[in-house]
A and B are shown apart, each in its own frame.
Chain A
């Protein structure tokens, strides 16, 4: 059974860097055909795709977002991470990690989500 689990601080101060990690179990993060993704949801709002990383190490981001988002992968630990620099209150959201299955063009497994609040 594939499982994804987000971890990281629930509170970040403005202007600092938000860092989240997603630990994957039940699947190989280095298998071709999957994109390891980050998606966020502002309180009471819809889903917003942030970006994803392919097993090869190539990362792709939502062009509507500023260049403050960075995704990396740690294959030996079966983890991938999201960093958001210079955060503001507008970055307060639930952050989900998810796996996009390229053959399906669909996010087939999701983490339970991590609420990150940006506040001083």
Chain B
């Protein structure tokens, strides 16, 4: 079972803002990374570290963290942002964990 807890499915109107969260004790010590997965595709990294985006990830994706909760925000959601989003974190040394995922639907 996941040691990281993510939100149930959410929906967002096209062009609006959505924030999804990830909770877990390990987030007090390690930053979360966030992954986007579309149906039938491999996940891709969208956020790592405190708020960093890999090359090619739009700046409408941002992140924040406080205590045991990490958040991913999509500002001005686009149709192509509809996907499952997973958080991941180091649980302990040499032990990684994923959250259960949150499906984001863009209306």
A interface list, Cβ under 8 A from B? 37, 39, 46-49, 52, 60, 62-64, 96, 100-101, 104-108, 110-113
User: Which of B31, B49, B95, B98 contacts A48, CB < 8 Å?
Assistant: B98
Instruction: Answer whether A46 and B98 are a contact pair too, CB < 8 Å, given A105-B48, A106-B33.
Output: yes
Instruction: Answer whether A110 and B42 are a contact pair too, CB < 8 Å, given A46-B2, A46-B98.
Output: yes
The number of residues on chain B lying at the interface, defined by a beta carbon within 8 Å of a beta carbon of chain A, is 28
With CB as the reference atom, state the residue of chain A lying closest to B90.
Answer: A105
B interface list, Cβ under 8 A from A? 1-2, 30-31, 33, 35, 37, 41-45, 48-49, 52, 54, 86, 88-90, 94-101
A113: chain B residues at CB < 8 Å are 42
Secondary structure type dominating chain A contacts: strand
Q: Is the beta-carbon distance between B42 and A49 smaller than 8 angstroms? A: no
With CB as the reference atom, state the residue of chain B lying closest to A39.
Answer: B98
**Bound CA span A64–B3, Å:** 11
Instruction: Answer whether A96 and B42 are a contact pair too, CB < 8 Å, given A106-B88, A107-B88, A108-B54.
Output: yes
Interface centre among B30, B41, B42 (most CB of A within 10 A): B42
Q: Beyond A47-B98, A96-B42, A106-B88, list 5 extra A-B contacts (CB 8 Å).
A: A39-B98, A48-B98, A60-B95, A63-B95, A107-B43
**Bound CA span A60–B31, Å:** 20
**Bound CA span A104–B96, Å:** 13
**Bound CA span A92–B27, Å:** 30
Instruction: Answer whether A107 and B42 are a contact pair too, CB < 8 Å, given A46-B101, A49-B98, A63-B95.
Output: no
Chain A nearest CB from B75 CB (Å) reads 21
**Bound CA span A80–B104, Å:** 34
With CB as the reference atom, state the residue of chain B lying closest to A94.
Answer: B42
